[in-house]
Amino acid sequence: MPHHAALSALAVMLVASAPAEATCLAEAIYYEARNEPINGQIAVAQVVLNRRQSPKHPQTLCAIVYQRKGNICQFSWACNPRLLSKPKDPLQWAIAQQVAAFALKGLPDKAKGATHFHAAYVKPNWRHLQRTGQIGKHVFYRERNPKR
């Protein structure tokens, strides 16, 4: 079996165990980081997973990915009805699904505890957060004094 076929088979098995949660995580990876290096995609996945550990965020991956406050979404694509259809790039969608499956299984935290990120060209006022690094075109942050 070719290496990529084995990865795909493993991803399908892992995703099958929690399809909705894995799909929501894959959507976040796809819409936020599909053109980023794999480490960047893993870091975006880890941000969502790290939020699940915080009492400030919902406790399910789907609730985190689609979290809203009024008309503002935590992830901007989640407020865009045109994007809320089937992903248009099948290869990048397959990669996002595999990254989600592996992230759910457990990977080293490339985001270094980050619970937030933004594109490098954006300059938000996040003084209350500590920068953990940049991977590709995303800058990652964690809370300065997380309350657990």
pLDDT at 146: 59
Alpha carbon distance 146, 26 (integer Å) = 26
Map out the domains of the chain with their CATH numbers: 3-112 (1.10.10.2520)
Structure token digits, residue 70:
């009024």
Taking only the tens place, the pLDDT of each residue in 19-39 is 899 999 999 999 999 999 999
Residue 50 has pLDDT above 60, yes or no: yes
Structure token digits, residue 128:
């209350």
When pLDDT is averaged across residues 45-72 and rounded to a whole number, the result is 92
- Crossing angle, helix 38-52 and helix 90-105, to 10 degrees? 50
Taking only the tens place, the pLDDT of each residue in 90-107 is 999 999 999 999 999 998
Structure token digits, residue 88:
């248009």
Confidence class for position 144, pLDDT limits 50, 70, 90:
confident
